[in-house]
Structure formats: structure tokens, C-alpha cells
Structure 1
Amino acid sequence: MYTHQKKVITQGAPLAETQKALILVHGRGATAESILSLASPLGANDFTLFAPQATNHSWYPYSFMAPATQNQPALDSALETIDAIVKSILEQGLSSQQIYLAGFSQGACLTSEYATRHAQPYGGLFIFTGGLIGQQLDTSNYQGNFAGTPVLITTGDPDPHVPVSRVNETVKIMEEHGAMVSKHIYPGRPHTILQEEINLAKQILSKASVNK
């Protein structure tokens, strides 16, 4: 088992100029560089971008539906990796509402798990084919209030990795913590991100407010 080396690729103008951050979390077998390629289609070129790289190209070794203990210590280390980025952004004077998080597949699962454990008013969350992590969800892990944070969550039906039932559980818990969730299930969609999903996320990102 493994923990993650702290490797984060940043792109774009400094936070002092952009005043808005987008954290992009790659999927299993992928790279920080590959998830950064989403920035342009999302219309996020005027954001400061942060893309952490998972050790061994995987945030945790087994399925996100496996017992959480089987994915340790990698899972806790992955959550700490995201937390360190968020804290660094906040320390540079931005509010949580100027922080957006996006992930695909395993990265979407990690994004939803991190954000729901640290619920606060983010700018927006984009969960492209993912859901909360664990064989059984421990609701005591989830703290705080999203205070109306817009959340986009998507999956295919069926998806080889992410069952619709877990997406529905995730939506319920996030809504209980104050999120405004937009759920989109695509029948027969392959394990990918459709242009429609990009367009939905782009609508949320285009409303990014800059509090200078």
C-alpha cells in the first residue's frame, strides 16, 4: 500500500491576478497533464488551475465501492493532497466560494468525498462519473454545509465502475448538507465525459465571481 507524493501541476496566471481557482482531479491510470486538458473546453483559461498527480496513477488501489479500510492508507493520503491545495488557496486570501473542484471517474469519487467531508460554500463542484467512497457510506464523515454550492454529478446507465444507486446516495447526502445538485444520468453512455456535460459545467464556471 502507498501514500502520495505531493506533486501538483499549476497552470494559468497567479491567484493574485485571477482570484479564482479550479482544482482538477484525474482518474485511475491517468495523469495531471491529461485532466488539465479539460480546462480549455470548460472555458476555464482565466482560472488558476491546480492538478495533483496520484502516485502510481491511482488515488487508491481498489474500487471506490470496496470497504474503505481496503483503500487505506492511500485514500486518506489522497484526501490530504486535496486538502493541502484548498488550504494553500485559502491562505492566499481567496474565499471557499472562489474555489471550484472537478474530477473524472476515480477523481470524481475523490472530489465528492473530499468536498462532502469539508462542506462549505464552494464556487462549484463537477463530479463527472463518480460518487462518495466506501462499501457502506459512513455519514458521520460528512461535516459542514455547502450553503447552496452548485454541484453537477453525472454517470452513464449502466457504467462499468459507478452504479446509479451510488450516485443517487451521493446526491441525497450532498443535498442534506445544503448543496444544489444537478444530476444527469445518460443511458448507454460509455465511460467518458460528453460534450453536454462539459457545457453544463461551463455554465456554472461562467458565473464565477471575482471578489477583489
Structure 2
Amino acid sequence: MLLETIERQTGDNPQWSVIWLHGLGADGNDFVPIVPELVRRHWPAMRFVFPHAPVRAVTINGGARMRAWYDIVGMDLASRADTAGVAESIAQVDALIQREVQRGIAPARILLAGFSQGGAITLSYGLQATTPLAGLVAMSTYLPDPASAASRLVAGATAQPVFFAHGSADPVVPLALGELSMQTLRGLGFTVQGHRYPMAHQVCGEEIKDLADWIEQRLQLPA
């Protein structure tokens, strides 16, 4: 079954779709307010899709049940994300992408974005995207198990450009994890536009502006 979602359209007959994955313990409502701050008037109509992650027990939080894209089983990067949970979420995201395709939006006009845990799924999906998307947006996040990333990479996936943003004072996902992830992606052949902001585990106005600039490049608007 498809995940429950919240949708916002910036106009009739959207030509582009953005699927946005929230962080641990949040839900799809978390990034809905960003739409009017991000979207520019001259952009084509877009559909924003904000799915709710399933509710599951999270080991690192004492087994408490909350919305999560996967269980966090340890603090070190290699074991932080449970493999089965990541695979399940990748499949659920792919189902949402296929729904957009059925609605008439080609993969080349679909952006996949994620914050924190949602960003980890975004990057994991990106490695395995057999049909490249228009781009990947990774905010305050990391690439799970970077040591095995090369073995998970499929042909053509590196055609997807990556916007990667991180806070220099992030106490949840340390900046070093984000920088290692960016280095790993670049080493695999991805084009990564990296940004560092003087903030904690959050989103800031400058980041939204930079992301809008990056999206505008993807839209290939006429001069």
C-alpha cells in the first residue's frame, strides 16, 4: 500500500513533482510550510508530496514507537541504520515515484528531497535509481554505510545531481558525517553541490534560497 501523503500544488496541471521525506519522529506536515518560501513565481506548476513514514520502534530511543524511515540501532555510521528498514523505505519511496510517473510526470522531472533520516533514504534511493531523477536534495543528513556504497550503485545513477546542506553545529548528525557522505558521493561520480551553514539540526533561510537557486538550474527555464 502507498504511504499516506500530504500534497500541495503550486498550479494546475503540474509539470514537476517534489517528494519530500521528513526526519525521525516528525511527519509529512513538517516541511509543508517551506513550499511558499521556496517556490518562485516564474516556475512551472509543481506538485509537492510529503509522505508520512511508518510508525516503528526506534532502538536508540529506548524502543519508543514513532514515525521513522528505519530503526536506528547504533551511533556509528556503519551500523546506524537497519538494512531491512532502509530497503523497505526505498521500496515505498519508489512506489510514490511510480505514482507520479503514472500521473504524467517523467522521472527527469521528479526531485527527491529529505531531511535527516529522510535524507538518508533519499541518498540510499539515489544510489539504486535505475531511472535517474532530476536531482536529490539531502539536508542535515548522511549516507548510510558509505563503505558499501559502491556495491549498491547502479549504472546511470550518478547522472542525478545532489544538493547537500549541513549545519556546522549539528548535534544530531555531526558535520563530519555529512562531509564524509559528500566525499563518498563525489568519489562515486555524483555531482554534489555542498553547503555549510552556521546552524544546528535545522533549516535556515539562506539554505532555502540556495536550494531554490539549485532547483531553478534543474528546471532549465528559457532565458
Following superposition, the deviation at residue 153 of structure 1 comes to 0.6
Correspondence list, 1:158-197, <5 A: 158-187=169-198, 189-197=199-207
Alpha-carbon distance in structure 1 between the residues aligned to 2:107 and 2:215: 14
Q: Which amino acid aligns with 1:201?
A: L
Report the counterpart of residue 79 of structure 2 in structure 1: 67
Deviation digits for residues 135-172 of structure 1 (CA, Å, limit 9, x no counterpart):
74442112133465432111123422323333233223
Report the counterpart of residue 11 of structure 1 in structure 2: 8
Report the counterpart of residue 59 of structure 2 in structure 1: none
The alignment status of 1:30 with 2:26, answered yes or no, reads yes
Report the counterpart of residue 134 of structure 1 in structure 2: 145
Given that residues 8 and 53 in structure 1 are in contact (C-alpha distance below 8 angstroms), is that contact kept between their aligned partners in structure 2? Answer: yes
Deviation digits for residues 11-57 of structure 1 (CA, Å, limit 9, x no counterpart):
2268x811100001000111101222222211178311111111121
The number of residue pairs the alignment matches comes to 204
Alpha-carbon distance in structure 2 between the residues aligned to 1:34 and 1:21: 18
Deviation digits for residues 86-108 of structure 1 (CA, Å, limit 9, x no counterpart):
12222334322201111111111
Alpha-carbon distance in structure 1 between the residues aligned to 2:88 and 2:181: 22
Q: 1:119 to 1:132 in 2, by over 3 A?
A: farther
When normalised by structure 1's length, the TM-score is 0.81
Q: 1:112 to 1:178 in 2, by over 3 A?
A: same
Alpha-carbon distance in structure 2 between the residues aligned to 1:96 and 1:201: 19
Report the counterpart of residue 55 of structure 1 in structure 2: 54
Q: 1:204 to 1:131 in 2, by over 3 A?
A: same
Cα-Cα RMSD: 2.8
Which structure carries more relative contact order (alpha carbon 8 Å, separation 6+)?
1
Q: Which amino acid aligns with 1:133?
A: P
Q: Percent identity?
A: 23
Alpha-carbon distance in structure 2 between the residues aligned to 1:77 and 1:94: 23
SS in 1 for 2:124: helix
